[in-house]
Amino acid sequence: MTFVSGFIGILGPPNVGKSTLLNRILGMKVAIVSPKPQTTRNRIIGVYHGKTCQMVFMDTPGIHKTRSALHRSMVQSARAALDEVDILLLMVDMGGPEDPEIQNMIKKIEALKKTCFLVINKIDQGKKERLLPMMERFGNLTSFDAIFPVSALSGEGVPELMDTLKAHLTPGPQFFPPDMLTDQTETFLVSEMIREKIFRLTSRDIPYSCAVTVDQMEERPGRNLLSIAARIHVETPSQKKILIGQKGRMIKAIGRAARQNLEKKFQARIYLDLTVHVEKHWSRDTRALRRLGY
């Protein structure tokens, strides 16, 4: 059989489940998720390997109105992906209100003249009677090549989506080796797992004011131990105080939760040393953004 391959971009507003869908397709976690919007900050590549196909997915930050240099970087990353892929998946949330940015996204997609599927996610959470009117409403906005109701969380509807994606791919090479599932480095994945726990365990502006960098990763031979030193960057002393918590309770909780995930990923014992540093207004400083990986 002919081998087919291609690049597929997953785009949409924040918090519609783009990263959850990518993790579901790959069968493992390569993108962090949280109930809070704008969790994903970087474009992440995930590679699906089939017997006769290779699908290279690009998970992008949610497209939203920008308020800082960080937000502009996130949205630029998402929009740049549109030009680099063969097929687009526009994701929306069945359970939530319609995002005002959807119309602008559709205009951009129409200008590109690329194959585009609408993916209506969270069908397990929304009211069933809303689905058909929603499909009709979006179908009237533009000519999607197909519309797929799915639950990225449970997997419902995902096999049908994958079958259709494969049918739209063209003959091509294996862009990545069979053992490669993502283009992200181990240090990036570690920093993201720590940042995910910050999103899950803190509130208000704290998650959005934090960045994580890994200073050191060192294997301890013969001990099945990986030693990691990571730094959490915040913008104000008050944020540092909240992140550390009374008697260090919050930073310990973040470290404990991150360590559990890291041990599963690396199949080793993890020693995790977390420190918190104040870097004023890093999210507004383009030089700081580049240094922190954005």
DSSP secondary structure of 3-31: -EEEEEEEE-STTSSHHHHHHHHHTS--S
Q: How far is CA 178 from the centre of its chain?
A: 22
Please report whether residue 179 resides in a domain.
no
Q: Note whether 210 and 186 are within 8 A (CB).
A: no
Dump pLDDT digits (tens) for 44-95: 889 999 999 999 999 876 554 555 566 565 556 656 667 789 999 999 988 7
From 52-56, 158-162, 176-180, 201-205, the region with the lowest mean pLDDT? 201-205
Q: What is the mean pLDDT of the chain?
A: 88
Q: Into how many domains does the chain fold? A: 2
Query: Does one domain contain both 125 and 28?
Result: yes
37: phi then psi, degrees, rounded to nearest 5: -70, 160
Q: How far lies 116's CA from each of 47, 119, 173, in Å?
A: 19, 10, 22
pLDDT at 284: 86
| Helix, strand and coil percent figures for the chain, each rounded to 5 | 40, 25, 35
Query: Does one domain contain both 52 and 100?
Result: yes
Query: Does one domain contain both 166 and 34?
Result: yes
Please report whether residue 233 resides in a domain.
yes
| Rg of the chain on CA atoms, in Å | 20
Query: Does one domain contain both 239 and 128?
Result: no
Query: Which of 142, 171, 200 finishes a domain?
Result: 171
pLDDT at 167: 96
Query: Does one domain contain both 124 and 58?
Result: yes
Strand partners, 214: 230
pLDDT at 5: 97
- In sign, the C-alpha dihedral spanning 149, 154, 157, 159 is positive
From 82-86, 170-174, 233-237, the region with the lowest mean pLDDT? 82-86
pLDDT at 178: 92
Q: Note whether 219 and 166 are within 8 A (CB).
A: no
Average pLDDT, integer, range 88-115? 84
Output the domain CATH number for residue 237: 3.30.300.20
Query: Does one domain contain both 231 and 163?
Result: no
Q: Sorting pLDDT into bands at 50, 70 and 90, what band is 239?
A: very high
Query: Does one domain contain both 97 and 66?
Result: yes
Query: Which of 126, 146, 171 finishes a domain?
Result: 171
Domain of 214, in residue numbers = 186-291
Query: Does one domain contain both 143 and 204?
Result: no
Please report whether residue 238 resides in a domain.
yes
pLDDT at 280 over 70: yes
Strand partners, 218: 227
Please report whether residue 181 resides in a domain.
no
pLDDT at 244: 96
Give the percent of the chain with pLDDT over 70.
Answer: 89
pLDDT at 37 over 70: no
Query: Does one domain contain both 63 and 128?
Result: yes
User: How many Å apart are CA 270 and CA 284, to the nearest integer?
Assistant: 33
Query: Does one domain contain both 20 and 140?
Result: yes
Please report whether residue 176 resides in a domain.
no
pTM, entire model? 0.82
Please report whether residue 177 resides in a domain.
no
Please report whether residue 271 resides in a domain.
yes
Please report whether residue 92 resides in a domain.
yes
Query: Does one domain contain both 57 and 151?
Result: yes
Dump pLDDT digits (tens) for 134-147: 999 888 888 899 99
pLDDT at 46: 93
Q: Note whether 267 and 225 are within 8 A (CB).
A: no
pLDDT at 64: 44
pLDDT at 69: 63
Output the domain CATH number for residue 60: 3.40.50.300
Residue identified by tokens 């209100």 is 97
Query: Does one domain contain both 85 and 197?
Result: no
pLDDT at 207 over 50: yes
Query: Which of 171, 194, 215 finishes a domain?
Result: 171
